Each structure stands twice: as structure tokens, then as C-alpha cells.
């Protein structure tokens, strides 16, 4: 009866690793990830030649090849992580969190802004690394571990520790400034905190602190104020990135202007990264945009649905945080392009160009797929006994 209700998959004695992995993995989510990456390469074929020409590369598909390479690395890492058990994923994430935090602390001294006004990257010459991209999945899993520990009898005040950790990270990111990643970290933490059983009044109080922090940032950060003012302005400057993006989406209509016929990629500096959805909308129309939205929604909703039957608090919290962070990042990226949200400088997972982004997305989805694999849940009494020991 337990198996019928909770969908458990009993371990088959002597079953090889690959057949067991294939039987327990969420194949729909895995397929959606590969389709998104394929769409990213397709859009890269349109968006990268103008950038390659601008940077004087003889190979017009230089950036597409780089995206294929880094994406291949990200997918291999993702598959490798999906084969780990949750305890091993947690251990790797905690170590990775320590490394990412150290990298974030060193950014002001050794980082670069590449002329974008925010010190977010380490330049390695042949490539660049953005620590905050790797910090996100590592933080979510570490915070979930702390919150789950608070459920144990005699456990530490994990919720408070996770809040202090999230606050420290948000402050570090805001100082870069990187308000987009800061808001994403805070959102993921808030979702996990709510799922872990936090009182609603406390969450309302934290929301009030966020509003107060945003007001302070508006009056003390020219970078933040400029983006908010641009968003609230009822008129759109057609020579800005938002102006180019909204015009491209309008021109694309339902069916698009045709493959390779779009012009926005020649005007938008970030057409291959933050505004890749504008390229998709102009050349392929609302049809492709709808497919992309459906793919992100499928990954997020299916993951949350599979987590509903999970009894382990750590797996449930970590999986929920990863799924919601993944979904909200995609929503923010597309929301900025259609002017529903202020400009954030956030990539579209698996679709936008960027080595750090696609590898970090592979890590996040690998962990999420590992947490949502079908596994024997055991009797609820067994779990309670383990907690009491």
C-alpha cells in the first residue's frame, strides 16, 4: 500500500547502476533540459555572429562553439550529480558553498567588471568565472540542510543560521552591485523557510525589511536607482536595450520574421545573454516563446509535484528551493525583456550564452533530479525512530 500511495521504487538486488538510474530518474524533466539546451544553441547561431564580428573573430560561430563546449560540460556534470545519493549531493554542495563564498569574498580584490559597472567575475584570460552563479545551488542545499536539522530533536537553530547566512550573502551581492542574484537568493531562502514551517507573520516582517532595504538602495545606489527609474518611466527610449527588445518582440508577432531575418541581434549588446528571448521572439515568434515557457514550467511543476511525496525534510526543502529558484530565474529574465520587471542582468538557464551560467545550471538541475528520483520512502514510523535516536 505504501508503494501505491507514495510511488516508491524498491531496490532490486544486484541491479546495475545505469538501469536503476534510468528507472528512477524523472525523464520528462531530463528531456526538457536537453531541449532547452538545444534551443539555446539554435538561438546562438542567430545571436552570436554579430558579437563575433564586433570582437573581430574570423569564425562567426566562435561563441556558439564555446556555448556547445561549456554546455556539454554542464550536461555531463548534471548527469554525474543525478547518479549521486542525496547525502553525497549534500556533502559536495557544502564544500562547494565554502569555495563559492571564499571566491565571493575575494571578488573586490581580484575581480573585474568587464566595463559593466559591477565586479562579478574573475577573468582567467581564456574564460571568466562568476562565483554567484555557483553559489546559488550550493547555498540552497546548505540552507536546506540547516533548516532540516532544526526539525531534529535537540537539533541546532538551523532556521536562524540560514537567515544569517542568507543576509550576509545578500549584502555581499548588493555591494557588487548584483541585486538580481541577491533577490534570487533571498527568494529561494524565503520559499524554503515557508515550506519548513515558518510563521507567516515572520515572513511578512522579513518582507518589510526587504522593502526597507530596497528603499535604502534606491537612495544610495545610482546603479539601482537608474534601473528602477527606467522601469517606472511610462515612455521607452527606443535606443536602450529594453527599447530594442520590446520592439523585436512586437515585430516577431506569432510566427516571427523568419530564421536569420531578425535585426535586434545587431543592436542589442546582450542579445546572446540577458535578452536572448528577444531574438527568439523576433525570428521565431510567439510559438517558440510559448514552447520555452512550457519547458520551464514543466521542469518546475513536475519537480515540485514529485517532491510532494518526499518524506525526508532535507530533500523536500532542497528540492523545493532549487526548483523555485530555477523557475523564478527564467521568469525574471523573460519578464525583464517584456518590461514586466526592472532590468536585472540575469541569464535564461541553459539558453543564454555563458559558461558559468550553463555549468551552474547543470549543477542545480543535477541536484534537483537527484532529489526527485523515485526511491523507497520507508514507513513513517521508521523515520520518526531515526529522528529520536
State residue 106's pLDDT score: 92
Contact 161, 138 (CB under 8 A): no
Q: Using CA atoms, how far apart are residues 300 and 322, in angstroms rounded to an integer?
A: 9
**Position 386 pLDDT exceeds 70:** no
Question: Does residue 52 contact residue 271 with C-beta atoms inside 8 Å?
Answer: no
pLDDT tens digits along 334-380: 998 888 887 777 889 999 998 899 999 999 999 999 999 987 765 44
Ranges of each domain in the chain: 16-388
Task: For residue 28, give the 3-state DSSP assignment.
Answer: helix
Query: For the CA atoms of the chain, what is the radius of gyration?
Result: 22
Q: pLDDT grade, residue 101 (50/70/90)?
A: very high
Task: Kindly state the DSSP code that residue 84 receives in the 8-state scheme.
Answer: S
Q: What is the sign of the dihedral through the CA atoms of 247, 263, 127 and 108?
A: negative
pLDDT, tens only, 292-342? 999 999 999 999 999 998 889 999 999 999 999 999 999 999 998 888 887
Q: What angle do CA 99, 102, 105 make, to 5 degrees?
A: 150
Residues 143, 131: contact at Cβ < 8 Å?
A: no
Residue 143 DSSP SS3: helix
Q: What is the pLDDT of residues 181-202, one digit of tens each?
A: 888 999 999 999 989 887 777 7
At residue 12, the pLDDT reads 58
d(CA 108, CA 172): 10
Q: What is the pTM of this model?
A: 0.88
**Predicted pLDDT of residue 223:** 64
Q: How many CA atoms lie within 13 A of 8 on its CB side?
A: 15
Q: In what helix (H) or strand (E) does residue 67 lie, and over which residues does it extend?
A: helix 62-82
Residue 364's closest CA among 156, 119, 140?
A: 140
Amino acid at each position: 500500500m505504501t508503494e501505491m500511495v507514495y510511488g516508491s521504487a524498491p531496490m532490486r538486488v544486484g541491479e546495475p547502476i545505469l538501469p536503476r538510474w534510468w528507472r528512477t530518474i524523472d525523464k520528462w524533466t531530463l528531456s526538457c533540459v536537453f531541449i532547452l539546451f538545444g534551443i539555446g544553441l539554435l538561438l546562438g547561431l542567430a545571436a552570436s555572429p554579430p558579437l563575433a564580428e564586433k570582437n573581430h573573430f574570423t569564425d562567426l560561430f566562435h561563441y556558439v562553439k564555446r556555448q556547445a563546449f561549456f554546455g556539454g560540460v554542464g550536461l555531463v556534470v548534471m548527469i554525474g550529480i543525478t547518479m549521486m545519493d542525496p547525502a553525497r549531493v549534500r556533502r559536495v554542495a557544502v564544500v562547494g558553498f565554502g569555495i563559492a563564498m571564499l571566491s565571493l569574498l575575494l571578488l573586490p580584490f581580484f575581480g573585474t567588471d568587464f566595463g559593466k559597472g559591477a565586479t562579478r567575475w574573475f577573468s582567467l584570460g581564456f574564460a571568466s568565472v562568476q562565483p554567484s552563479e555557483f553559489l546559488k545551488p550550493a547555498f540552497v542545499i546548505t540552507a536546506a540542510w540547516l533548516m532540516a536539522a532544526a526539525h531534529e530533536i535537540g537539533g541546532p537553530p538551523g532556521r536562524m543560521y540560514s537567515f544569517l547566512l542568507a543576509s550576509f550573502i545578500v549584502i555581499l551581492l548588493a555591494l557588487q552591485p548584483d541585486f538580481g542574484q541577491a533577490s534570487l537568493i533571498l527568494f529561494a531562502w524565503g520559499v524554503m523557510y515557508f515550506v519548513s514551517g515558518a510563521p507567516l507573520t515572520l515572513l511578512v516582517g522579513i518582507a518589510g525589511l526587504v522593502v526597507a532595504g530596497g528603499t535604502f538602495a534606491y537612495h544610495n545606489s545610482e546603479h539601482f536607482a537608474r534601473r528602477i527609474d527606467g522601469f517606472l518611466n511610462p515612455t521607452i527610449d527606443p535606443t536602450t536595450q529594453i527599447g530594442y527588445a520590446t520592439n523585436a518582440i512586437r515585430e516577431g508577432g506569432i510566427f516571427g520574421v523568419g530564421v536569420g531575418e531578425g535585426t535586434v541581434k545587431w543592436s542589442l549588446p546582450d542579445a546572446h545573454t540577458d535578452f536572448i528571448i528577444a531574438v527568439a521572439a523576433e525570428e521565431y515568434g510567439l510559438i517558440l516563446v510559448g514552447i520555452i515557457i512550457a519547458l520551464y514550467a514543466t521542469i518546475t511543476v513536475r519537480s515540485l509535484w514529485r517532491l510532494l511525496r518526499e518524506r525526508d525534510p532535507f530533500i523536500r526543502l532542497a528540492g523545493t528551493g532549487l526548483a523555485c529558484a530555477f523557475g523564478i530565474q527564467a521568469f525574471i529574465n523573460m519578464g525583464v525583456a517584456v518590461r514586466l520587471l526592472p532590468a536585472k542582468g540575469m541569464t535564461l538557464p541553459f539558453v543564454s550564452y555563458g559558461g558559468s551560467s550553463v555549468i551552474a545550471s547543470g549543477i542545480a538541475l543535477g541536484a534537483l533530479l537527484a532529489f526527485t528520483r523515485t526511491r523507497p520512502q520507508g514507513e513513517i514510523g521508521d523515520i520518526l525512530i531515526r529522528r529520536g535516536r
